Amino acid sequence: MRFVDLRSDTVTIADDAMREVMARAEVGDDVFHEDPTVNRLQEMSAEITGMEAGLFVPSGSMGNLICLMVHTEKGDEIYLGRQDHIFMYEAASASVVAGVQHRIFENREDGTLDLDEVAFAQRSDDAHQPRSRLISMENTHNRCSGSPLPLDYMASVREFADERSLAVHLDGARVFNAALALGTSVAEVCSYADSVTFCLSKGLGAPVGSVVCGSKDFIYHAHRARKLLGGGMRQVGHLAAAGIFALENRVDRLADDHANAKRLAEGLSAMDGIDCDADLYKTNIVYFELTGDRNPRDFVKAMAKRGVRFFNLWAKRFRLVTHLGVTAEDIEFALKEFGEEL
């Protein structure tokens, strides 16, 4: 039976070429900074993001948490969007571990925040109030249509932060998709932030891993924070090798994922029973809603039986994500199955 998995871009499986470089990787003890493959991945990542240094971490969530730990002190406040991954899906680690308070603002459809609202929330220097310390951006924005945040918005966040002595963190789990959609470099997208976390295990197709990048001093402290979280790793060059392979071979092909997502969105938008505004989707993530009163869970189950897997993320809203395991033919197959099921 044909099967297409549109649940997430994290579901990809390493192919023979990637496994081969992982098996052959030159390794050492990374806790002693002696793993040449990890060192190379970190140097490459710093260069790509235009930052001074990088740190290999097990996951995007740990990378984001490490950045928050380095930028803040307990009792500080961080500004985030209500739909941001750090607020929605990271087990409240910013509160539990970094000890900071989230200050939440509504995201617009494209993931941006209204900076006038944020300005209004700014704390004064007063012993009753937490200290405002950081503003975070997510680019691309997962829950907001997979949108690439526009560069002029990122520039305005940078300016806003500089005027208020706030640090800027970028959750760039899909920053390569953002750069592609914006027609610019990853370094340009990261240039508005003090720190970035990007993921090797999403569109880039590595089995695991993310990289935190920032200044040399920032990464020095990030290394300590990773240790505190139990994230000291040993001969982890086998995993870093997959990351290097992904950075060298899997960036340009993200254009296929974007084209496949666009075709999917256009196909769905033409169907009765589905509400999907294809113009909203510029990267590898597509959302749609059912217009009738069909139970969303039943719909997901029925489509899975037809070989098309995806998630019902909230209410009647469904998410579809393209990735290197999904071909243009898979998209046509999925559209055909949607058409028959509706």
Nearer to ligand PLP, 22 or 173 (CB): 173
CB 283 → ligand PLP: shortest distance, Å?
11
Nearer to ligand PLP, 138 or 257 (CB): 138
User: Shortest Cβ contact with ligand PLP: which residue?
Assistant: 60
Nearer to ligand PLP, 106 or 162 (CB): 106
The set of residues, in sequence order, having a beta carbon less than 8 Å from that of 196 and lying 6+ positions away, is 49, 51, 169, 170, 171, 172, 175, 190, 212, 213, 214
CB 6 → ligand PLP: shortest distance, Å?
14
Nearer to ligand PLP, 60 or 207 (CB): 60
DSSP for residue 254? H
CB 165 → ligand PLP: shortest distance, Å?
26
Helix, strand, coil in percent for the chain, rounding step 5: 45, 20, 35
Q: What is the DSSP string of 148-212?
A: PPPHHHHHHHHHHHHHTT-EEEEEETTHHHHHHHHTS-HHHHHTT-SEEEEESSSTT--SS-EEE
3-state secondary structure of 247: helix
11-21 burial, b if ≥16 CB within 10 A, otherwise e?
A: ebebeeebbeb
Alpha-carbon dihedral sign for residues 139, 204, 235, 230: positive
**What are the φ/ψ torsions at residue 287 (nearest 5 degrees)?**
-115, 150
What is the rounded CA–CA span in Å between residue 242 and residue 277? 36
CB 328 → ligand PLP: shortest distance, Å?
24
Nearer to ligand PLP, 142 or 235 (CB): 142
CB 140 → ligand PLP: shortest distance, Å?
8
DSSP for residue 98? I
3-state secondary structure of 27: coil
CB 80 → ligand PLP: shortest distance, Å?
12
CB 147 → ligand PLP: shortest distance, Å?
11
Nearer to ligand PLP, 101 or 136 (CB): 136
- Closest Cα partner for 21 from 249, 251, 242, 201? 242
Nearer to ligand PLP, 308 or 321 (CB): 321
The set of residues, in sequence order, having a beta carbon less than 8 Å from that of 331 and lying 6+ positions away, is 4, 260, 263, 264, 267, 322
Nearer to ligand PLP, 71 or 306 (CB): 71
Q: Which amino acid is at 23?
A: A
Q: Which amino acid is at 177?
A: N
CB 18 → ligand PLP: shortest distance, Å?
17
What is the rounded CA–CA span in Å between residue 308 and residue 16? 25
CB 120 → ligand PLP: shortest distance, Å?
26
Nearer to ligand PLP, 142 or 145 (CB): 142
Contact 168, 127 (CB under 8 A): no
What residues line the site for ligand PLP (CB under 6 A)?
59-61, 85, 138, 142, 171, 173, 199, 201, 210
